[in-house]
Amino acid sequence: MRFKYYLRGAGIGILFATILMMVAFHSHGSKISDDEVVQRAGELGMVWPETESESESEIETEAEAQPEAVQNEKQQEASNPDTSSNLEEEIPEFENQDVPAQENDSVVKITVVQGEVCRTLAEDLAAASLIEDAEDFRKYMGDHNYANSIHVGEFEIPRGSTYEEIARILVN
């Protein structure tokens, strides 16, 4: 018979706690819209990736515009046969000229922005041909506790640097 009273008390306690939580969440629950979430994320420094659909539409637009320009040039050449010979005379030849090499060919500038994560930084380094495998570099940074210590700014990284040298440049 005692068990019956304990069971009844537990049931009443659960109901009371449930009602209390419903009241608390109902009065406190202010819902925010998706636009407010996006705005708040932007304020906190979230970086939005470019969507593929935008870049695909730009490529299609450029591809459509290019044939028109080529057709216009062909029509102009057909109407003025003398222009093609004039163009050949006006263009200087650069084949024999020496072009001075840039001094900074062996150094690549990498910019780290606030809110950028180690994964995107590794992808940027791989795109600049400073490292071969972005995922391998990300794992190295995590294993050696460098991933959370990356500083914001612009860094000059020499080509041929090891993972350790690159990591020290980014965290110092």
| Distance of alpha carbon 124 from alpha carbon 129, whole angstroms | 9
Tokens at residue 155, please? 């860094």
Asked if 128 and 71 sit in the same domain, the reply is no
pTM value > 0.85: no
Tokens at residue 144, please? 């050696």
Question: Domain range holding 36?
Answer: 2-43
Domain presence at residue 51: no
Asked if 38 and 71 sit in the same domain, the reply is no
**Per-residue pLDDT, 84:** 45
pLDDT band, very low/low/confident/very high, at 14 (cuts 50, 70, 90): very high
Q: Which residue is listed with tokens 């500083």?
A: 151
**Per-residue pLDDT, 131:** 92
Domain presence at residue 49: no
| Distance of alpha carbon 37 from alpha carbon 27, whole angstroms | 21
Q: Where does residue 123 rank: exposed (0-12), middle (13-18), buried (19+ CB within 10 A)?
A: middle
Distances (CA, A) of 63 to 67, 68, 139: 7, 9, 40
Asked if 113 and 149 sit in the same domain, the reply is yes
Return the minimum-mean-pLDDT range out of 2-6, 24-28, 96-100, 129-133.
Answer: 96-100
| Distance of alpha carbon 102 from alpha carbon 81, whole angstroms | 41
Asked if 36 and 78 sit in the same domain, the reply is no
Report the CATH number that the domain containing residue 155 is assigned in CATH: 3.30.1490.480
Asked if 166 and 128 sit in the same domain, the reply is yes
pLDDT top residue among 46 and 108:
108
pLDDT top residue among 5 and 75:
5
Q: Where does residue 138 rank: exposed (0-12), middle (13-18), buried (19+ CB within 10 A)?
A: buried
Domain presence at residue 95: no
Domain presence at residue 98: no
Asked if 33 and 69 sit in the same domain, the reply is no
Q: Which residue is listed with tokens 């969440």?
A: 25
The number of domains in the chain is 3
